[in-house]
A and B are shown apart, each in its own frame.
Chain A
């Protein structure tokens, strides 16, 4: 299956420096450490992982909201990390973002009309007299109406605000949207409405999503491929069905088994991880997962594992599956 690659991330590194004081060297936090993946046109790629694993940083680095330390983000044969402010801005109409917190991401002093109008003005899209019509059209797509135009964000519920956030992101007809935990702040009954909306909009406008989430049941439902992250690195990437049916990396297995059951009679074979995620300021040597991994060997402590390919779409970074090693039996 050959698919068109819309965005390609190569060896991306984003480090944050923390000042320790005038005479001490700065501490470096490797939020994203050597991550590479491709995103195909029209698909939904999920980035999953626990808090602090760098999934949001990847989203922000792709959109150049955070400066990358090294590596490339190729979009349309252009490396986004090298663009200056104006060049990036002119590309933003094709790359948009939906934020996690619908309460913090809308300006409380602007009406919905102003909020959704802003991207059109900035990018000088459509004739001024056409714009209102376009806004009403997009509001109808996301399930709001003309009647809401003159209202302020505080008059809306969480789910409605997230619809406004989506309207603002899709009004420029972008190709690629980074959705950073778009439904995790919402209630269960509203969450399903917003997921449906995102699926509908994707179909209608042919969007590609990078879907950042920690909710694995949502990820299983609506994404095509999943990349699992741990401490700034991708440990496993595969198509969604493959990953949920046949996870390979010990961390992926533990993460999937930690998801609460959906029926009280369901039995879960839970692999309980001990301890917490180590601090990214001081990551373990070798494979960063080895202190919590029950299969860790000496090699895991010393060397960071390279990728093993199970199929064209399924890659794992783990020493247990290196060429020559026997397949593990669980």
Chain B
């Protein structure tokens, strides 16, 4: 299978007021052509920082990629200049953000905002742009597209704005679409519409989608393969059915067990005790050790290796040869 995006052993550090924090500590994953990869994790686990690094959107002054590389196909993109990155961004890789309300500019019409990538990347003449945009808006299921093109973002509902954002990301036919929690701010009925749209787009355009979310339901519905992140590390990577049928990392097991649907009604929900460690905390061993019920001394003292079993990768001491999984 063709790999369109590879992230290898990525380490990122932020410097603020002389204090160094390391939110990403050795993240490795890849995205295949026309697959939907889910990235799951709680807030602060580094899923957004990772994708921002891929897009080259990290603040230059305060952040630094200390180790690792990001490959787009064969090309290394983590060391490109701003100019070169602008060629790729919006053209080969596009991104949809969480908040459709805040990511559109309130003082420009939909048409003005959507013509920007066409001007920039395709040098399309003005007349052609309008018809292209109207067609693109129609293709994501926006009714009255020829009127909406002249309206402002505040005149649209949340679901409509998210569709406009998706149109914006798709205008240049990108190979990869990164969707950062695209349905979190939307109601369930609208979420169902957007998820169906993303599925249909993947089929039509053979596009790869990276879906960042904290909602395991969305993952179950949409993704082919999933990586689970915890405190700046990838703790598990698996095909979707394997992840739900046989989660191997204690954290993934805990997440799946704590879903209300997997617990008896009115009973106490299974819950992972404790809190996510702060990014400023320095850890020798496994970041999950302090919340893990199977943790041993080894887990606290040294970083776990990644155990590979076909498509299923787990970063945990318990699965190494001398470890025993309870």
Contacts and interface: CB of A to CB of B under 8 A. Distances in A.
A276 interface: yes
Interface residues of B, number: 43
A265 B241 contact: yes
Contact of B188 (A188, A189, A222, A258): A258
B43 A195 contact: no
B314 interface: no
A260 interface: yes
Given A260-B215, A263-B244, A265-B241, A216 B188 contact: yes
Interface in A154-207: 157-160, 187-193, 195-196, 199-200
Contact of B217 (A160, A260, A265, A270): A260
Nearest to A143: B273
Contacts of B240: 264
B189 A273 contact: yes
Given A188-B42, A189-B255, A199-B266, A220 B190 contact: no
B217 A262 contact: yes
B217 A192 contact: no
A219 B188 CA distance: 14
Nearest to B192: A258
Contacts of B270: 192
B192 A276 contact: no
Contacts of B258: 188-189, 191-192
A77 to B, nearest CB: 31
Interface in B209-241: 214-218, 220-221, 240-241
A interface residue count range (under 10 / 10 to 19 / 20 to 34 / 35 or more)? 35 or more
Given A189-B42, A259-B188, A272-B193, A157 B220 contact: no
B105 interface: no
A24 interface: no
Contacts of A195: 260, 269
Interface of A is mostly: helix
Given A217-B261, A258-B189, A189 B272 contact: yes
**Interface on chain B toward A: helix, strand, loop, or mixed SS?**
helix
Contacts of A189: 42, 254-255, 258, 271-272, 276
A261 B221 contact: yes
A54 B48 CA distance: 33
A42 to B, nearest CB: 13
Given A157-B275, A272-B192, A276-B159, A187 B260 contact: no
A293 interface: no
Nearest to A241: B265
A272 B196 contact: yes
Contacts of A273: 189, 193
Interface string A260-284: 1111111000101100110000000
A74 B89 CA distance: 59
Given A187-B214, A272-B196, 20 more contacts: A50-B190, A51-B158, A187-B43, A187-B276, A188-B42, A188-B214, A188-B216, A189-B272, A189-B276, A190-B275, A195-B260, A196-B269, A217-B259, A255-B188, A258-B189, A260-B188, A261-B217, A262-B216, A270-B192, A276-B158
Nearest 5 Cβ contacts at the A-B interface: A260-B217, A221-B260, A192-B271, A192-B269, A187-B42
